């Protein structure tokens, strides 16, 4: 049986410094350092770089969980053979996140199932990797939460959550007509985030059709004008993407069947 290359004293020191997870990769790094006769400073840099990468990865996962992003909806999982059409140059620009730096918005518009939510969440994951704060909500749930918050006097706190994040993703906006209270809340969010933080809004309707879903046309026009004057429009057309997300049996399970 091979002796443990990490002494108990070293393990204890690493744990006291909150570097205990380095123990997972340190044995392999020690072997590599001996084989390559690596200088001490280079070995220390290599070992600490492993820990930095691990912490960065964990921080990204934590941000994505707090953002309520679907872990399966990441750009690398997008099926390029999907029978949908969109402006690929625009998507490439959005992936750069320059819109986020400029506090601009994105409207992702298309029929049911063409992949609007997928691309919105994929952009959210990229933002999390870059260290941005993100929150993904469905429009109806967002408005319902704000209504309930009025009852228990937490409205201001809930509204701040929606306004404070660097990227707010609102899914399925404009599906249903809003009552006066919901219209006011939507107005507050759209106006408060104007040039202060970015939004990605997915909808079956184009921004020019959102006006009809508000109860107050004057407020609606003001809010929508602010949004559209500072937004990119990514229109997706084609067949439904959802069948590509349907679970499938693995080859081993198919053979067993």
Residue with more model confidence, 240 or 133: 133
- Give yes or no for a contact between 195 and 99, defined as CB atoms under 8 angstroms apart: no
Task: Report the candidate in 206, 220, 147 with the shortest Cα–Cα distance to residue 173.
Answer: 206
- Give yes or no for a contact between 189 and 222, defined as CB atoms under 8 angstroms apart: no
Task: State the average pLDDT over residues 28-45.
Answer: 86
Model confidence over 170-210: pLDDT tens digits? Answer: 999 998 899 999 999 999 999 999 988 999 999 999 998 99
What CATH topology corresponds to 75-242? Rossmann fold (3.40.50)
Task: State the average pLDDT over residues 90-108.
Answer: 97
Q: In what helix (H) or strand (E) does residue 105 lie, and over which residues does it extend?
A: strand 105-110
* Number of C-beta neighbours around residue 15 at 10 A: 13
Q: What distance in Å separates the CA atoms of residue 233 and residue 77, rounded to the nearest whole number?
A: 23
Enter the pTM of the model.
0.77
pLDDT of residue 121: 97
Residues in the chain: 257
Q: What distance in Å separates the CA atoms of residue 171 and residue 203, rounded to the nearest whole number?
A: 7
SS3 64: helix
Q: Spell out the domain ranges in the chain.
A: 8-63, 75-242
Residue with more model confidence, 22 or 204: 204
């Amino acid at each position: 049986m091979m002796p443990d290359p990490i002494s108990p004293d070293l393990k204890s020191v690493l744990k006291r410094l909150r570097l205990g997870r380095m123990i997972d990769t340190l044995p392999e790094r020690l072997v590599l350092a001996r084989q390559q006769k690596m200088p001490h400073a280079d070995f220390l840099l290599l070992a600490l770089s492993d820990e930095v990468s691990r912490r960065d990865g964990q921080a990204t996962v934590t941000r994505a969980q707090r953002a309520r992003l679907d872990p399966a909806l990441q750009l690398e999982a997008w099926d390029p053979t999907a029978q949908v059409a969109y402006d690929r140059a625009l998507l490439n620009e959005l992936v750069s996140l320059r819109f986020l730096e400029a506090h601009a918005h994105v409207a992702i518009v298309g029929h049911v199932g063409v992949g609007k939510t997928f691309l919105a969440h994929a952009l959210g994951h990229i933002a999390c990797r870059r260290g941005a704060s993100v929150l993904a909500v469905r429009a109806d749930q967002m408005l319902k939460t704000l209504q309930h918050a009025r009852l228990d006097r937490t409205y201001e706190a809930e509204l701040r959550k929606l306004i404070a994040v660097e990227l707010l993703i609102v899914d399925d906006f404009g599906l249903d007509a809003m009552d006066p209270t919901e219209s006011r809340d939507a107005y507050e969010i759209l106006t408060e985030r104007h040039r202060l933080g970015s939004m990605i809004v997915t909808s079956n309707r184009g921004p020019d059709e959102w006006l009809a879903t508000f109860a107050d046309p004057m407020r609606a026009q003001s809010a929508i004008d602010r949004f559209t004057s500072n937004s990119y429009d990514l229109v997706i057309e084609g067949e439904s993407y959802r069948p590509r997300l349907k679970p499938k049996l693995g080859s081993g399970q198919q053979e067993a069947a």
